[in-house]
Structure 1
Amino acid sequence: MDENVRLTAWVRGRVQGVGFRWWTRAAALEIGGLTGYTGNLGDGRVQVVAEGGRTACEHLLDALRAGDTPGHVAGVTEIWGEPRGGYNGFEIR
């Protein structure tokens, strides 16, 4: 059984102003079963919070690292936790 988890990822590189958040939302919706958000941080990174099945979250993390994203991803740091809920779909913030 695929346990529900919370993935928080911080993506660094040239990821702001290039459509990265829109791409991330589209990827999450294509994978399906994910709720959460993606948003720019003041230091130039993009934060991604996704909740859903572990397999779906792992697919999203793989997509963030795949290299065919808008801009240029220099690295992704992630933490895993328990889902908190409260999200309505997958939003851009």
Structure 2
Amino acid sequence: EQLKAKLLASVGHDVQLIGEGWNFGEVANGARFIQASQLSLNGSGIATFSDRARDAIRGGGSSESGDNLIRKQGYINGLFVDPNALN
């Protein structure tokens, strides 16, 4: 809520915050700080999404580039309104 309030004050209107809530690596399970996981963000006003949703939005997979990224075009880069030659 504090982060949301600061952003609101700085831009003058509501800001949509969306992130990938992961619990992994050396900081897993709150080892070094509170992880921004789906569970810890519950009620904070910050939304999370999955890697599958991210890939559908941006296109491709987590480690794809070049033609594969273009071929697997996502929603945000025009899949439904501006198809490319590879899809």
For normalisation by structure 1, the TM-score amounts to 0.21
Q: Which has the higher contact order (CA 8 A, sep 6+)?
A: 1
Structure with bigger strand share is: 1
Q: Which has the larger radius of gyration?
A: 2
For normalisation by structure 2, the TM-score amounts to 0.22
Structure with bigger helix share is: 2
